[in-house]
Amino acid sequence: MLKIDDVSKVFDGARAVDRVDLDVNEGEFVTLLGPSGCGKSTLLRMIAGFEVPSSGRILMRGKDMSRDPAYQREIGMVFQNLALFPHMNVYDNVAFGLRARKRTDDLDRRVREMISMVGLEGFESRRTGQISGGQRQRVALARSLVTAPDVLLLDEPLSALDLKLRRQLQVELKRIQRETGITFIFVTHDQEEALSMSDRIAVMTAGKVDQYGSAVDIYHKPQTEFVARFVGETNFLSGSVCSVTSEQTELDLDGTDIRLSVATTSAARRQGERMSVSIRPEHVLLGARGEYSVPARVVSHSFSGATITYALDSAAGPLLAQVPFQPGRGHPLLPGETVSAGWPNDAITLIPA
């Protein structure tokens, strides 16, 4: 439905967005995820029509709209600062887009339907200065959805809210997206938010998309070190490829006599190549378990309710191990204790070093 084709944006000689390609399907929830300054908002603003690409094209259903003005695009936008009209009540804020477009037949039914969808019945006549931050967020969403845009762009819409409200609105936003079937492009720097809501995530760094894929793929099959580090925590061990066939790659793990054997992916190309091995902390098993194991010493531990995370010093390098905490099942390991740290074969992701 939406195609970003080799799009760049240059400001004062610097590339804010650098040759980005993205395809978005109808009804999809796509998230642009990346650290501050990586170009997420600039890309979104080009889709909205508030910025013109320096090169490349943005196509909607096959038609190049890169240079169309914002008002000609069937695209809605929810900003972080909301930009609600403070002197208007909730109803009039939501009705605004329909009135501005002179789409007034059926207006009352559509406005009330949207107000109900975002859970604000009873608040119709309140001014937006007289409702809470979370409720203002819902008004902003209803106001953008009421005109039934083809695509709704959301630029960090939840970032001003406290954690609990944020989690609650994430669930609601996802429900509303499913119910309306409108394509959402959502910007955030919060990886948990991205993982929990998106059909696909584009992880951005320095103006480029490093990886574009499902939340599960981004988390479990990161293709670059940046993606592995930015999305969740991970352990990086290193080693050298000792053999590679079309099926199997064998890798000697530095500091150990372990030879890892994993299914060949595009990551490993030739013998002798240096590779990083990413293993998520929750896949590290303590005690002599897993297909591979290394001797390790506990450096510290931190308790976070359901789990304990141990920092370990192992023969293969530092390791974090996140294990479930079960009250009554023995005491946590103490700093200085030795333990064997292992992991199953399918927990390993090879990434070019």
Ligand X SMILES: Nc1ncnc2c1ncn2[C@@H]1O[C@H](COP(=O)(O)OP(=O)(O)OP(=O)(O)O)[C@@H](O)[C@H]1O
Q: Which of 10, 160, 151, 26 is nearest to 83 (CA)?
A: 160
Specify the residue, 81 or 300, whose C-beta has the smaller distance to ligand X.
81
Task: Tell me how far apart the terminal alpha carbons of the chain are, to the nearest angstrom.
Answer: 36
Pair 239, 349: CB distance under 8 Å? no
Specify the residue, 53 or 97, whose C-beta has the smaller distance to ligand X.
53
Q: Which of 175, 249, 248, 174 is nearest to 215 (CA)?
A: 174
Whats the size of the chain, residue-wise?
Answer: 353
Task: Provide, rounded to whole angstroms, the least separation between the CB of residue 43 and ligand X.
Answer: 7
Interaction pattern, residues 298-327, with ligand X; x per rule: CB under 6 A: ------------------------------
The amino acid occupying position 169 is L
Query: How far apart are the C-alpha atoms of 238 and 278, rounded to whole Å?
Result: 9
Specify the residue, 154 or 260, whose C-beta has the smaller distance to ligand X.
154
Task: Provide, rounded to whole angstroms, the least separation between the CB of residue 15 and ligand X.
Answer: 8
Pair 212, 231: CB distance under 8 Å? no
**Contact status: 283 vs ligand X (CB under 6 A):** no
Q: Which residues within the stretch 181-210 sit at the binding site for ligand X (CB under 6 A)?
A: 189
Task: Provide, rounded to whole angstroms, the least separation between the CB of residue 315 and ligand X.
Answer: 39
Query: How far apart are the C-alpha atoms of 136 and 94, rounded to whole Å?
Result: 11
Task: Provide, rounded to whole angstroms, the least separation between the CB of residue 18 and ligand X.
Answer: 10
Task: Provide, rounded to whole angstroms, the least separation between the CB of residue 38 and ligand X.
Answer: 4
Task: Provide, rounded to whole angstroms, the least separation between the CB of residue 54 and ligand X.
Answer: 12
Specify the residue, 12 or 179, whose C-beta has the smaller distance to ligand X.
12
Number of residues lying near ligand X (CB under 6 A): 12
Interaction pattern, residues 146-185, with ligand X; x per rule: CB under 6 A: ----------------------------------------
- Which listed residue (11, 87, 171, 289) binds ligand X by CB under 6 A? 11
Q: Which residues within the stretch 13-52 sit at the binding site for ligand X (CB under 6 A)?
A: 16, 34, 36-42
Specify the residue, 91 or 230, whose C-beta has the smaller distance to ligand X.
230
Q: What is 328-350 written as a DSSP string?
A: TS-PPPPTT-EEEEEE-GGG-EE
Specify the residue, 202 or 268, whose C-beta has the smaller distance to ligand X.
202
Task: Provide, rounded to whole angstroms, the least separation between the CB of residue 212 and ligand X.
Answer: 16
Specify the residue, 9 or 110, whose C-beta has the smaller distance to ligand X.
9
Residue burial 315-347, b: 16+ Cβ < 10 Å; e: rest: bbbebbbbbeeeeeeeeebeeeeebebbbeeeb
Strand runs labelled E in the chain: 2-11, 14-24, 29-33, 55-60, 63-64, 75-78, 151-155, 183-188, 200-205, 208-214, 235-244, 248-253, 259-263, 274-279, 285-286, 292-303, 307-314, 317-324, 338-343, 349-352
Task: Provide, rounded to whole angstroms, the least separation between the CB of residue 101 and ligand X.
Answer: 28
Interface stretch with ligand X, choices 8-16, 83-91, 95-103, 339-347 (CB under 6 A) = 8-16
CA pseudo-torsion sign 114, 117, 120, 121 = positive
Residue 232: how many CB atoms within 10 A of its CB?
18
Task: Provide, rounded to whole angstroms, the least separation between the CB of residue 193 and ligand X.
Answer: 13
Query: Which residues are CB-contacts of 324 (< 8 A; sequence separation ≥ 6)?
Result: 306, 307
Binding residues for ligand X, rule: CB under 6 A, are: 11-12, 16, 34, 36-42, 189
